[in-house]
């Protein structure tokens, strides 16, 4: 299928089956991942959302490709304004952190990942977590990311429970459930 027709397909309403089919095509296509990264940053919200969704389904099941894209995720995440792109990038970063902890990604990539400066990520994750305009799904992934980074930056473990408790006051059921889980994990990991 030609590149222009694939890009055009991303503009239409898609279900999970469509996303998986496009993910397979883009993962085998020369420069497919680069194309998706470019499209994720489009001003066209639908195109950006669908491209990010397809990209997520290209990267997560392919550990080698996923690890090669860590730096791009880290680069884009602090400046992303699109709510759907925020969600997908936060999900990718959360999965990357968990996959490195569980040794599901190449060790050399995870070592490089651990050496990356994550302070800009921490700062923006706290901002998004406290911002009432940020979508609940983004906040849930922000909690995960900050939890993972609390092992690198100790002070996060002190601050995060208070921020989460504030979010839980008027939070969605998802925020409350994730918040309770993260607070329990923080107590378990840092109060022993």
191: left (phi over 0), alpha (psi -120 to 50) or beta: alpha
Residue 20 lies in domain: 1-116
Separation CA 77–CA 86 (nearest Å)? 7
The answer on pLDDT for 46 being more than 80 is: yes
Q: Which two tokens stand for residue 165?
A: 């408790």
Residues contacting 166, CB < 8 A, separation 6+? 130
Residues contacting 191, CB < 8 A, separation 6+? none
Q: Are residues 101 and 124 both part of a single domain? A: no
- Lowest mean pLDDT: which of 35-39, 47-51, 134-138, 188-192? 188-192
The answer on pLDDT for 180 being more than 90 is: yes
* C-alpha distances out from residue 135 to 82, 102, 129, 146, Å: 11, 28, 9, 17
Q: Are residues 161 and 191 both part of a single domain? A: yes
Q: If pLDDT is split at 50, 70 and 90, which confidence band does 192 have?
A: low
Find the length of the chain: 192
Q: Are residues 111 and 138 both part of a single domain? A: no
Tokens 């989460």 sit on residue: 164
Condensed to tens digits (0 to 9), the pLDDT of residues 100-140 reads 999 998 999 899 888 888 999 999 999 999 999 999 999 99
Q: Are residues 47 and 112 both part of a single domain? A: yes
């Amino acid at each position: 299928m030609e590149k222009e027709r694939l890009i055009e397909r991303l503009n239409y309403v898609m279900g999970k089956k469509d996303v998986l089919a496009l993910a397979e095509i883009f993962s085998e296509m020369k420069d497919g991942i680069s194309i998706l990264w470019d499209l994720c940053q489009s001003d066209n919200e639908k195109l950006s959302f669908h491209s990010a969704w397809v990209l997520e389904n290209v990267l997560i099941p392919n550990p080698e490709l996923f690890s090669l894209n860590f730096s791009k995720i880290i680069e884009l995440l602090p400046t992303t304004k699109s709510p759907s792109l925020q969600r997908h990038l936060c999900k990718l970063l959360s999965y990357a952190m968990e996959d490195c902890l569980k040794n599901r990604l190449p060790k050399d990539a995870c070592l490089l990942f651990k050496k990356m400066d994550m302070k800009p990520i921490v700062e923006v994750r706290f901002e998004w977590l406290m911002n009432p305009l940020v979508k609940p799904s983004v906040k849930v992934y922000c909690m995960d990311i900050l939890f993972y980074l609390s092992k690198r930056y100790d002070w996060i473990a002190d601050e995060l429970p208070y921020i989460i408790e504030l979010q839980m006051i008027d939070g969605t059921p998802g925020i409350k459930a994730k918040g309770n889980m993260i607070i329990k994990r923080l107590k378990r990991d840092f109060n022993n």
